[in-house]
Structures are given as structure tokens and as C-alpha cells.
Amino acid sequence: MEDLQLQKIAISGPTLASMIQRFSSSPADVDGFIFGHVTQITPSTLSDDSSSADESASQLVATITGFICPGSPLSFYDSLGRVDLLRVPSHHQHHNLIGWFSGRRQSPLRPSLREFSVTSSLSKIPQFHLPIKNLTLTLTPCIFILFTTPLTDQLIHTHQYRAYQFNPSSKSFHPKTIDIVNIGPAFRGHYGNFVPNCGLPLMNCSSAMDEESLSAKKDKLNDQKQLDSCTEGFQIESLRRLMGPEAANYTGALEDMYEKMLGKVESLARLVESSSAQVLELENHNRKLRYKVTRSTGLE
């Protein structure tokens, strides 16, 4: 069977930045899983020529929504690059495994012996077939993204990356373009592909309206808890004023809610910062232990 060809690979700017950050902050080479989904897009350009429409009809786009980095090499494959099925998560927060990535410092931007084997092995596992949105076909996790740092110090750029689709039938890598989706008016059309992981919770309208009954009070408390997961200190009562005919007068309240949501994001960021510091401390400790082991084996 002919392999399905992806047209491109889309990734949000923050996700790509986060992958690069993970790579550049790691003490050694890194690798990990890539999650997301594959969609068939309908081309927006309409043409009178029906013959060209067939070609463009099969445009597949893989969208990367997240990644996991185990933090140590050879964690889910052996030295020959054979993947251990039990150590690979096929899903992560409702997103399918669509491939993997490897980041190695100071090395050529070409897939290595082992990277080829891992990709080939990953694409052979039948359990990992993922559905394509808007299409009845399935695809294997066949995406490989390679990050490296340039070999010579004279270059201005500090990182380089290349994305490939692996074709199991021809056993070969095909370079694919990476489409970075950023925030801004130019990218509005792409947003649909990124399903939010965390939406505003569904809330019972009446709870905000009627403050008298006991059960309503209980619901209110519950809803406030849900709202707190998105905003920092925004009262559920204020939501009430955002609905109905008088809402137009309360843009201030809406702005207040957005501000509080940003506040929440900020406090989350602070949490991540402090936990990252702890992780780094642990990693340094591990490194020191590993050096001890290496030195003692070297003396043997």
C-alpha cells in the first residue's frame, strides 16, 4: 500500500519553544514522544479546474500539541533502536502519539543509525495506529523531529531542527516543512486545529442568579471551585452580570475576569518555576552520583 503523505507538520510556537528549552537545558542529549492529531484539511482556494482539485483534496496536516521527555536516553528502546512497546504511552491527555523527537548537541542534522531504527520500529506497531480526522484511514506514529546545535561556533543560530515523515513501505525519511502557528491575526485560520486542553467549566446559570436555596448555595460553591481553577480570585456572582441585556455595560467586569485569568496563569508559571528549580537540583545531584559511578568503574 502506498503510504499516506503528510503535507506539513504544524506546531504552536510555545510548544516548539518549550521543546527547544527542554533540549538546551538538559545536561546531555534528549529524546521523547510527540503527541497530537492528524487532520485532513479542505483547501480554501477554490478552482474551476477539477483535475487539480483531486490532488489538493488529500492534504494531511499533523498537528503537534504536546510532548513528553523522559530525561534519560534509551528509556523506551534498546541500543539497536528496537522500541519496547510497554514503555511507550499511546496517548497523553486525549492526544494520540504521532511520533518522537531526538535532540543532540554538536552533531550533524541527519538522522543517525539508531534514530532510523527507532522511527522504523515505532511505525510498525499496529496498536499505535491513529485515526485521521475527516477521513476513515489511519496512520502510524511516523513523525520524527531532530534538534541539533551547529558544529561550528561561528554561526549565529544556536539551534537547528528538521522534521521528517517516515514511510514504512519504502523505509525512508521524507523531510517535511514545519509550520509554526503563532498568536496573531495572520494565524487565526489555524486556531481551529488546536483544541484547548482547558476550557472554561460548564456552569449552571441559575446558581449565579438565585442565591437563596441551600442546594443552589452548594452548587455555587462547587462552581466557584471550578472557576478558581481558571482565574485567580474572580467571584462567581460577577459572572451573573456578564449575561443578559445589561452585559454591555459591564465590559469592565469582563476585563477583570481576563485579568484574573492571566493572574492564574502567572501563579501557575511561578509554581512551574519553583518546581523546575527543584528538578534541576535533583538532576545535578544525579549527575554527581553518575560521575562517581563512572570514576569508580574507570578505576576498576
Partner 1 sequence: MSCEGFPAFISAQLHYLLSHCPLSIKIEQAWSGGKYSGSLDRFTLLIPYCLDTIKWDVIYNAEFPHAAPDVIFGPEDEDFHPFQDRGAKSSLADWNNKDPTRLLALIQELRDQYMSYQRKRVGEVDDDRLKFEISTILSREGIEMHMSSGIEKPEEVKFAVPLVDANINKMVAGCPWRHQQKIYLQVIYPVSRKYVSTPSAPRLKLMSTSELKSLFSIDDVKLPQWLDGMCMAEYLPHLEETLERQILEAVTLIEVRRHFIESLAPLFGRPIETDMVFYRKSMFFVASGAFSFLVLFFLSTQFPKQQPALMLQSSLYFNAQGIPVKSPLLTDYPWSPRWEPSQMAERIFEFLVDESLNFKKYCSESQLQH
Binding residues for partner 1, per CB under 8 A? 24-29, 72-74, 78-80, 82, 104-108, 110-117, 120, 151, 171-173, 287, 290-291, 293-294, 297-298, 300
Positions of E strands within the chain: 6-12, 30-40, 60-68, 91-92, 95-104, 130-133, 138-139, 143-148, 160-167, 172-176, 178-181
Of 176 and 260, CB closest to partner 1: 176
Of 36 and 111, CB closest to partner 1: 111
Of 30 and 208, CB closest to partner 1: 30
| Beta carbon of residue 214, minimum distance to partner 1 (angstroms, whole number) | 59
| Beta carbon of residue 165, minimum distance to partner 1 (angstroms, whole number) | 15
The Cα–Cα gap between 42 and 58 comes to 8
The Cα–Cα gap between 34 and 22 comes to 13
**Pick from 270, 246, 248, 250: which is nearest to 258 by CA?**
250
Of 12 and 149, CB closest to partner 1: 149
Residue type, 145: I
Residue whose C-alpha cell reads 443552589 in the numeric block:
216
| Beta carbon of residue 18, minimum distance to partner 1 (angstroms, whole number) | 17
In the numeric block, which cell numbers belong to residue 36?
Answer: 497530537
| Beta carbon of residue 174, minimum distance to partner 1 (angstroms, whole number) | 11
| Beta carbon of residue 21, minimum distance to partner 1 (angstroms, whole number) | 13
- In whole angstroms, how far apart are CA 9 and each of 14, 16, 164, 205? 15, 12, 9, 40
Of 99 and 111, CB closest to partner 1: 111
Of 115 and 223, CB closest to partner 1: 115
**Pick from 31, 265, 1, 281: which is nearest to 146 by CA?**
31
In the numeric block, which cell numbers belong to residue 142?
Answer: 511516523
| Beta carbon of residue 80, minimum distance to partner 1 (angstroms, whole number) | 5
| Beta carbon of residue 117, minimum distance to partner 1 (angstroms, whole number) | 7
* Phi/psi-derived region of residue 94, left when phi > 0, alpha when psi is between -120 and 50, beta in every other case: left
Of 94 and 290, CB closest to partner 1: 290
